[in-house]
């Protein structure tokens, strides 16, 4: 799907929430360094955020048209996860699967600190394990 490719990384809403929190957070600082100068694409779950200190953020519009184009990717990810016995295939992780499907759909790495994404089929996860 090379026509969908976007330069940058998709960032999990957990990491984005750390960026928005004004309290000191060493984990957030490590993720800022990990992302570096890459443009950031927020997935569907994070697009409602009104402000962000990360200046290179591109918000993907949360319009119904985008949902329709993402549905096949999300459904395929759920099927592949279920076949592999991966927890991301469970109903409980619907929101997580949408943002992961965004990264897969636009062929970008996915930055997350959440272990649920580890070894998800087709997902290139970037994480700080320190």
Q: What is the pLDDT of residues 104-118, one digit of tens each?
A: 998 999 999 999 999
Predicted TM-score (pTM) of the model is 0.77
Residue 69: predicted pLDDT: 78
Arithmetic mean of pLDDT over the chain: 81
Residue 38 in 3-state DSSP? Answer: coil
Max CA distance (Å), the chain: 41
Looking at the DSSP bridge assignments, the partners of residue 41 are 10, 58
Higher pLDDT residue, 126 or 130? 126
Q: Which two tokens stand for residue 80?
A: 């592949």
Checking if the pLDDT of 88 tops 90, the result is yes
Reply yes or no on whether the pLDDT at 44 is more than 60: no
Query: Is residue 64 pLDDT above 50, yes or no?
Result: no
The Cα–Cα gap between 45 and 42 comes to: 8
Q: Name the residue with tokens 């580890």.
A: 118
| Helix (H) or strand (E) run with residue 42 in it | strand 40-42
Mean pLDDT, rounded, for 51-69: 49
What architecture is the 2-126 domain classified under in CATH? 3-Layer(aba) Sandwich (3.40)
């Amino acid at each position: 799907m090379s026509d969908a490719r976007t330069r940058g990384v998709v960032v999990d809403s957990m990491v984005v929430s750390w960026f928005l929190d004004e309290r000191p957070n060493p984990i957030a600082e490590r993720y800022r360094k990990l992302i570096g100068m890459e443009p950031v694409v927020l997935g569907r779950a994070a697009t409602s955020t009104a402000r962000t200190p990360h200046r290179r953020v591109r918000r993907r519009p949360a319009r119904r048209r985008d949902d329709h184009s993402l549905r096949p990717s999300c459904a395929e990810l759920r099927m592949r996860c279920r076949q592999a016995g991966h927890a991301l295939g469970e109903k409980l992780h619907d929101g997580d699967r949408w943002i992961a499907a965004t990264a897969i759909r636009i062929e970008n790495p996915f930055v997350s600190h959440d272990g649920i994404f580890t070894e998800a089929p087709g997902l290139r996860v970037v994480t700080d394990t320190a």
